[in-house]
Amino acid sequence: MALKLNSSSRRRRRADPFCEINVTPMVDVMLVLLVIFMVAAPMMTTGVTVDLPQSKSSAIPGQDEPLSVSVTADGRIFIQKTQVPLKGLQNKLKAIAGQKKDTRIFVRGDKNIDYGRVMQVVGEINAAGFNKVALITEAGAAAEGRDK
């Protein structure tokens, strides 16, 4: 009788389905997705290439998504990624923001551009009725020569 029990238990083991989950393919897929997102994320945040000056200022807190106005080294003006002339800046900003005059606007001026050109852009933004304007810099220490 002992033999009969052993033989039936062997049959049952062979007929039982394999119930372990193999997580290796899932881990492989997740690692590939992680690498893809790590490479793609910086590309999604870049807009117009501007060489920003450095400063010791802290980040500006806020919940809403600010508009980005960029002034390139050759003096061209962009709202987000769209190039606009200085004369058309007020109308474009009013069309984008509508009646929301409390919209935050970040001005990104290239460090090699004339300061007067950046101030012309800020003046146009203020003339359009927007008061929450901030100049964006690169985080880090200021230039060594300026601290002395």
pLDDT recorded at residue 96: 82
Claim to verify: residue 12 and residue 65 sit in the same structural domain: no
pLDDT for 57 equals 61
Domain count, the chain: 2
Average pLDDT per block of 10 residues along the chain, 148 residues long = 50 64 89 89 63 63 75 88 88 82 85 86 87 78 46
CATH of the domain at 85: 3.30.420.270
Same domain, 14 and 72: no
Whether residues 61 and 27 share a domain: the answer is no
Token pair recorded at residue 45: 């945040």
Query: Are 31 and 85 part of one and the same domain?
Result: no
Whether 58 and 8 map to the same domain: the answer is no
Question: Are residues 59 and 100 both part of a single domain?
Answer: yes
pLDDT at 91: 87
Q: What pLDDT, on the 0 to 100 scale, is given for residue 80?
A: 86
Specify the 3-state DSSP secondary structure of 82. Answer: strand
Same domain for 77 and 27? no
Residue 30: per-residue pLDDT: 94
* pLDDT at residue 32 in the model: 93
Residue-by-residue DSSP string for 12-32 = HHHHSPP-----HHHHHHHHH
Q: Domain span at residue 29?
A: 2-45
